[in-house]
A and B are shown apart, each in its own frame.
Chain A
Amino acid sequence: GAVVSQHPSWVICKSGTSVKIECRSLDFQATTMFWYRQFPKQSLMLMATSNEGSKATYEQGVEKDKFLINHASLTLSTLTVTSAHPEDSSFYICSARGLAGDYSYNEQFFGPGTRLTVL
């Protein structure tokens, strides 16, 4: 159990276009989803936290108008990179946490990641 999927697994786009990444919890309800970004040989940097039905909370230094996050249901969150530029090329990983009291509450389960390359 506790599977998180991401789509697409990789995407190549032209500079200036927008890219949407989907994150789904397949077999549990994710009250909270997190979006991380990882540059080569660097660790995961938390970008934002989203709770179902409410606006995402962004970490310091992350542009909320550039990285749009929607957490429309307990199983789906989306990250849209708007007007992407080459410096946005990175590995984007989502993570989900379940309901309080659920066996998975103490853990964050990670999706397989999306490799974004902006030309």
Chain B
Amino acid sequence: GQNIDQPTEMTATEGAIVQINCTYQTSGFNGLFWYQQHAGEAPTFLSYNVLDGLEEKGRFSSFLSRSKGYSYLLLKELQMKDSASYLCAVRGRNQAGTALIFGKGTTLSVSS
């Protein structure tokens, strides 16, 4: 089976740092993705990890440990516009081949 777990909700204040964790158990592994989704909009790509370690991209960093089935997304210097849902997704193996399978998402609320 396939299972991707992440916290449902998180809150933080402007300027702070927040870490969103994701654990996964999937059939096959071909990379882990993080997406940001604002209400009523399509997800937008944030990061991609296929090897263990940390990938940094501006205010956002993503970490992967394949042996532990674990990833996190780190957001620094939080801004109000970062309030959104953050989706952890794994490219595993589905009926057809390899598609992104999503977790339920973490709703992040940033307050001033």
Q: A residues touching B (Cβ–Cβ < 8 Å)? A: 32, 34, 36, 42-46, 48-49, 51, 56-60, 91, 93, 95, 106-113, 115
Contact = CB atoms under 8 A, between A and B. Distances in A.
A43 B95 contact: no
B101 A46 contact: yes
B41 to A, nearest CB: 7
B85 to A, nearest CB: 8
Contacts of B105: 43
Contact of B96 (A49, A91, A93, A106): A49
Interface in B31-56: 31, 33, 35, 40-45, 48, 50
Contacts of A93: 42-43
B100 A108 contact: yes
A21 B92 CA distance: 26
A106 B48 contact: yes
Given A110-B43, A111-B42, A43 B99 contact: no
Contact of B41 (A59, A106, A112): A112
Nearest to A46: B99
Interface residues of B, number: 23
A43 B100 CA distance: 12
Interface of B: 31, 33, 35, 40-45, 48, 50, 87, 94-97, 99-105
A24 to B, nearest CB: 14
Given A42-B104, A44-B102, A107-B45, 18 more contacts: A36-B102, A43-B102, A43-B104, A45-B102, A46-B99, A46-B101, A48-B96, A56-B96, A58-B95, A59-B95, A91-B40, A106-B48, A107-B33, A108-B33, A108-B99, A110-B42, A112-B41, A112-B42
A88 to B, nearest CB: 18
Nearest to A94: B42
Q: What 7 A-B pairs come out closest when comparing CB atoms?
A: A57-B96, A49-B96, A110-B42, A43-B104, A43-B102, A44-B102, A43-B105
